[in-house]
Amino acid sequence: MNPNEAQSPDGQETDWDPRREDVQRNQIRAYDHMRGTCPVAHSDYLGWSLFRHADVLQIVTDHHGFSNVVSRHPSVPNGMDPPEHTGYRQLIERYFTQQRVDAFEPVCRQIAGELVGSLKASSTWEVMSNLAEPYAVRVQCGFLGWPEGLHGPLRQWVRKNQEATLARDTEAMASIALEFDSYIRAQLDARKSADGAAPEDITTELLRQTIGGERLAYADIVSILRNWTVGELGTIAACVEIIMHFLAQNQEVQSRLRKDRARLPLAIEEILRLNGPLISNRRTARRSVVIGDRQVEAGDRVTVIWASANRDPAVFEDADQYRPDRDQSSNLLYGAGIHVCPGAALARMQLRVMISEVLSGISQFTLASDCEPVHAIYPAGGLASLEIQTDGASPQVA
């Protein structure tokens, strides 16, 4: 990963290859290296990659200089800029109020408790397939009012989407995207047909919403639900696995959290700062600007590397150390600026509930001795596979 190691097809200097085996083997370690040696780096794959906290914050808070419209496919409201973004953002924020989050917590706790309960008889199990992924699918369906019959298809869809993304198979990715939209449209069609008998859930509510005095277009509702669901399924599952991995490696922290659940919120924020579940986001430069010592031109692609920015020692003292008592106000786990994650409170509740149920229902656990964790490959963060084993004792009661 030496600067100026190659030339991209357009003649731009190529500083690194994000797809190289040594990068994918451990993304966090590779991004730490880039932040220290080439913090504003160009590649033909990601355009400009930014690794420092200050540079990332500069980009994501400057919606006049950097656009979120990065794809030819519409994305509501993630892929919008003001003023168009403003109305849609205000519309969706009403679904993530603290009141709604609190009302949904018992549902999450029931789902988490059932999943944890099903694992009590096993001394060794894989986290993603047995806990993280089914939890993400079930809580998202529960939040949107979608039927249990979608749990299986959505889990299969997640796997197919991951495989196509890793293979960079654009034809398969397009087909898979259409498949997901068909699930959403089926839910919308069922509610329209039911009319007054439609269930009173978020999906039904969206059919009644208006922008500028007109009902939301079908395509816009599909895009909103796609963004919520695809992001939820991947990110929440990755978060659960990252946290479980950390606790399995750090027995003292695990024991402390078992005894004092009030520490969980800050512990989770810090664990996910250390190993980010969401690696990056894209922007397009609207004007020419110097970032670090590099010239970025209008129209250039810019990739902000959240997983690196959150480990920047210029912002976080002892950045690679677990310090749950640190000030988390600079943590970019949920983004920043006008596109900061609207569902942050919901995600925090879901993670707190799941990890609390794990600590209540499962005895002290460690990494499985005969199976090494497998790191996820970009654009995924965290781990692709993780097996843990328990000591067989009864869980400590908080």
In a domain, 75, yes or no: yes
Q: Identify the weakest region by mean pLDDT among 211-215, 256-260, 341-345.
A: 211-215
Q: What is the pLDDT of residue 30?
A: 97
157 with 176: CB under 8 angstroms?
yes
Sign of CA dihedral 103, 207, 141, 238: negative
Between 55 and 393, the more confident residue is: 55
Residue 8 has pLDDT above 60, yes or no: no
Q: How far apart are CA 274 and CA 252, in angstroms?
A: 17
Residue 302 has pLDDT above 60, yes or no: yes
Residue 3 has pLDDT above 50, yes or no: no
Between 3 and 267, the more confident residue is: 267
Question: Residue 202 sits in a domain of what CATH number?
Answer: 1.10.630.10
In a domain, 1, yes or no: no
Percent of all residues in the chain with a pLDDT value above 90, rounded to a whole number:
80
Q: What is the pLDDT of residue 174?
A: 81
Residue 1 has pLDDT above 60, yes or no: no
In a domain, 398, yes or no: no
In a domain, 396, yes or no: no
Residue 210 φ/ψ region, left for φ over 0, alpha for ψ in the -120 to 50 degree band, beta for the rest = beta
Helix 98-117 vs helix 344-361: crossing angle, to nearest 10: 30
In a domain, 181, yes or no: yes
Q: What is the pLDDT of residue 397?
A: 56
Q: What is the pLDDT of residue 396?
A: 64
90 with 82: CB under 8 angstroms?
no
3-state secondary structure of 262: helix
Residue 4 has pLDDT above 50, yes or no: no
In a domain, 291, yes or no: yes
Q: How many CA atoms lie within 13 A of 302 on its CB side?
A: 35
Q: What is the pLDDT of residue 7?
A: 52
Residue 270 has pLDDT above 60, yes or no: yes
Q: How far apart are CA 342 and CA 85, in angstroms?
A: 13
pLDDT tens digits, one per residue of 215-259: 999 999 999 998 888 878 889 999 999 999 999 999 999 999 999
The torsion defined by the Cα of 92, 95, 99 and 101, in degrees rounded to 10, comes to -120
Smallest CA-to-CA distance from 53 within 319, 285, 381, 321 is with: 319
Q: How far apart are CA 374 and CA 377, in angstroms?
A: 9
Smallest CA-to-CA distance from 273 within 324, 339, 348, 336 is with: 324
122 pLDDT band (50/70/90 cuts)?
confident
In a domain, 397, yes or no: no
Q: How far apart are CA 236 and CA 139, in angstroms?
A: 10
Between 379 and 79, the more confident residue is: 79
Got the DSSP string for 62-79?
-TTTEES--SSS--TTTT
For 37, the domain range is 6-390
Looking at the structure of the chain, the number of domains it has is 1
212 contacts: CB under 8 Å, gap ≥ 6: 87
Exposed, middle or buried: residue 193 (CB in 10 Å: 0-12, 13-18, 19+)? exposed
State the average pLDDT over residues 49-74: 95
State the average pLDDT over residues 198-225: 93
Between 85 and 4, the more confident residue is: 85
State the average pLDDT over residues 201-215: 94
Mean of all residue pLDDT scores within the chain: 92
Smallest CA-to-CA distance from 162 within 379, 387, 374, 382 is with: 379
Q: What is the pLDDT of residue 295?
A: 97
Q: What does the block give as tokens for 366?
A: 């460690």
Residue 160 has pLDDT above 90, yes or no: no
Q: What is the pLDDT of residue 230?
A: 83
Q: What is the pLDDT of residue 164?
A: 77
